Each structure stands twice: as C-alpha cells, then as structure tokens.
Amino acid sequence: MVRAALKRPITIIVLFFGLLLFSVMAVRTISIDIFPNLNLPVIYVIQQYGGMTAKQMEGFFSTKMQDNFLYIDGVSNIESKNIQGLTMIKLSFYEGTDMAEAAAEVAIQVNRCLAFFPPGSLPPEVVRFDASSLPVGELVFSSKTRSLNEVFDMAAVLVRPLFGKVPGLSAPPPFGSNARSVIIKVDPLKLRELNLSPEAVVAAATDAAAPAAAAAGDAAKKAEPAKKEDAKKEPAKKDAKK
C-alpha cells in the first residue's frame, strides 16, 4: 500500500479529497433520529371485551375480523392470539407496501366488523408497529391525599392537554384507574319461575344503565309528584263546585 501510494501520489490525493467531500455532504444531508422510520410492514389489531373466554373471543371477534382482512391488498400473513377478554391479530404485509394506505384499509375493515360484534363492544385498536411509535417516556402520578379516580381525572383533563402543544408529540390516554363494574347475583330458581335467561337480565341491566334510560327514569320520577298534586287538586275543585 505504501509503495503504491508513493508511486501514484496524485491518485491518492484525489481519493482523499473525494472521501473528504462526500463525508461532509453526508454529514449535512443524513437524517438523524432516535427512533428512525423503519417502515416495518406489520400492523396489530387489538380488541378487548371483558367476561369472555378465549374461545368466545375467537368466535365473536377474531374469526370475523380475519375473514374481512383477506380483502386488504398486500397481506402476506395473518396471525391471531386469543386470551380471556382480549384478542390480538397480527397482519404482516409484503415489502414495499404503503403502510399508511394499508393502515387505512385495516381501519375500514374494522369498522365494517363492528356491526357483527356483541352489544357494548368498543372499536378495536389499530396499532402500526414501528420504532417511531414506541413511547419515549412514561409519566407516573401518585398521591397520598387523593383517590385513584381523582388522580386519573387530573391526568386526563389537566396534564394530557399540555402535551398536545408540543410539536410532533402525541400523548396517549392515561390508564391504571379502577373500572366501574356492576355484579348482579341471580337466583337460578327465580329465573326458571319467571321464564327468563341470564342474557335477558344482562340486556335489562344494560338498557337501564344507558343514558337515555336514566333520563327517562328521572323524568318519570319528576312526573310522579306532579300527578299526585293534580290528583289532590281535583277533589278540591269538585267540593268547590258543590
């Protein structure tokens, strides 16, 4: 190498300045990111529904969504995993697929599946697996004087909107609070006597918990005193006529 460099000094100088020039150009134009956009062709669909077993999650959610995902262009493989109250579907696409367009098609097919889901089902979460979508930090709240629900409300209402002012930053909703739940204990003998099924009890409880039903119940309660007052006034009017 040394002898070749001494025999051709001009060639070595040209190569040196060429490498130096391209190095400066690369440093000025190369993009630097902690989590670069790798464009991995993978999308996850996550659906939650409390109280269902793994087989029920597969029958009510996973199978129907997988059938609809076959209409999406560029899908190379579909994998699903079902556990109690949760189903997760992994969609793998071919290299070179436009993942933004693929995510939009997945969202469309998910919305079509909502009509076949059980009552009370929330829309599934469509998550694109990419290094840029990983969280860069976690913020944990704790308090010795406030309850868990109060801390959750403060994080969702007061703290989360502050992150929306930061350019390029997205703040997911907080989690960790206690979910409200209603436990109904039913006597099987009473159900048989009244010719009712557990599904009918659940449907009645769901309808009673709906906002429209609650509003109707409040209106009925307000109307009852008015009817009683009207009933009291009618005998008084009759006595006055006599």
Token pair 């206690």: residue: 178
- The domain tally of the chain equals 4
Q: Where would I find the H helices in 124-210?
A: 148-154, 160-163, 188-194, 198-209
Domain co-membership, 74 together with 126: yes
pLDDT of residue 180: 64
CA-CA distance, 44 to 89, in Å (whole number)? Answer: 6
Domain co-membership, 96 together with 153: no
Domain co-membership, 22 together with 52: no
- β-strands 125-128, 42-48 pairing: antiparallel
Closest CA to 72 of 58, 51, 93, 57: 93
Structural domain of 115: 42-133
The CATH code of the domain that includes 64 is: 3.30.70.1430
CA-CA distance, 115 to 128, in Å (whole number)? Answer: 24
Give pLDDT tens digits for 17-30: 888 888 888 878 77
Task: Decide: pTM greater than 0.75.
Answer: no
Give pLDDT tens digits for 60-74: 899 889 988 988 888
Domain co-membership, 50 together with 121: yes
pLDDT of residue 89: 92
Which residues of the chain are under the pLDDT cut of 50? 212-216, 236, 238, 240-241
- Total length of the chain: 242
pLDDT of residue 221: 54
Q: Report if residue 226 sits inside a domain.
A: no
